[in-house]
Amino acid sequence: MTGSTTTPRLGVVGSCNVDLVVRCRRLARPGETVLGDDVVRLSGGKGANQAAAAARLGANVSLIATLGRDESAAWLLDTLRGLGVHDELISRSSRPTGTAFITVDDRGENEIVVSRGANADLDLADVDLEPFDVVLASMEVAASVLDDAASRSRHFILNVAPAAPVNPETLDRCAVVIANEGEAESLSLTTIEHCVVTMGAKGAVHFQHGREVARVAAPVIDPVDTVGAGDVFCAAYAVMWARGWPARDVLAYAVTAGALATLALGAQGALPTHEEVTTWLARA
Ligand code: RIB
């Protein structure tokens, strides 16, 4: 692997949620009730997960998000500070802090319902995005926020999760668009300059205007919980992209970081360090 190991300045625009997680033997079908273990409260939200993962990988990270004014908000802020995420750009709303209701089965598969709450009130009007080398954003905030961020960022990476329509001008402004296989179905890959599609245990592919330019398999790992693995992938991708590493190396690094993130319960339960990722890559 070649490239710099500088400390990129990353702005992460996205959600910050309390994750209420229940483990169960298998996921419920529509209309069905299944019994699960005791509920666990964990910190989550795609934005917060990405910010925490990037900080752990060595970036200088500010989370740009909105919390409520409740006890959950205070708890989430403490957690984020503990992980080294800068919180000066986190605003408050009178709505409740976002909450995700998550079930995880024996195979590590999950189902998630998000009540966005305060996340829906995020507004970037007073936020200066110029200092950031890269702004990474995801879609649990208003679409207008993404359009604003894309138009004012030096380099903008968009994770189209959860899937929803995106303004074509915003897609045009992206340095990279990151989607999982399901989310990629609603994208026209040939019109996007750089699109990275994650495929879970099968790894990831980098397309340039719809043409495959790199493909990386994932390390063989027995996952405990895949919640947040995509967020860690995006964070790792943004950090190494900002460091200017070659496209295939960035992809391999991000795939490995995402896989390592599945080794404990919770979206932020197994965030890998830069050393852990590079050690795994050296073994591969
Ligand atoms: O990507 C995983 C995340 O999605 C969870 O942490 C949950 O909060 C939802 O935002």
- For residue 4, tell me if it sits in a domain: no
Q: For 61-95, how does the pLDDT look when each residue is reduced to its tens digit (9 = 90+)?
A: 999 999 999 999 999 999 999 999 999 999 999 99
Tell me, yes or no, if 123 is annotated catalytic. no
Do the domain assignments include residue 277? yes
Tokens at 20, concatenated: 């209420």
Which residue among 16, 40, 102 is best mutated to probe the pocket of ligand 1, counting the most ligand atoms within 8 A of its Cβ?
102
Range of the domain at 240: 11-283
Phi/psi at 42 (5° precision): -130, 160
Query: With bands split at pLDDT 50, 70 and 90, how would you rate the model's confidence at 3?
Result: low
What Å distances lie between residue 227 and 79, 97, 224, 233, CA to CA? 18, 19, 9, 12
Instruction: List pLDDT tens digits, range 237-262.
Output: 999 999 999 999 999 999 999 999 99
Closest Cα to atom 7 of ligand 1: 45
Q: The CATH number of the domain where 184 resides is what?
A: 3.40.1190.20
Residue 29 falls inside a structural domain: yes
Between 25 and 2, the more confident residue is: 25
- Average pLDDT of the chain, as a whole number: 96
Q: Is residue 5 part of a domain?
A: no
Q: With bands split at pLDDT 50, 70 and 90, how would you rate the model's confidence at 146?
A: very high
CA distance 42 to 193: 36
Whole-model pTM: value is 0.96
Residue 94 φ/ψ region, left for φ over 0, alpha for ψ in the -120 to 50 degree band, beta for the rest: alpha
What phi and psi values does residue 184 have, to the nearest 5 degrees? -65, -20
Q: Are 21 and 265 contacting, i.e. CB atoms less than 8 angstroms apart?
A: yes
Read off the pLDDT of each residue in 203-227 and give the average, rounded to a whole number.
Answer: 95
In terms of Cα–Cα distance, which of 53, 8, 45 is closest to 276? 53
The verdict on residue 6 lying in a domain is no
Would you say the CB of residue 198 lies under 6 angstroms from ligand 1? no
Is residue 3 in a domain? Answer: no
Q: Is there a domain that residue 149 lies in?
A: yes
149 Cα distance to chain centroid:
16
Residue 261, in any domain of the structure: yes
User: Active-site residue among 123, 148, 231, 249?
Assistant: 231
**How far is the centre of ligand 1, averaged over its atoms, from the C-alpha of 135 (Å)?**
19
pLDDT band at 108 (very low <50, low <70, confident <90, very high): confident
Number of folded domains that form the chain: 1
More confident residue, 225 or 65: 65
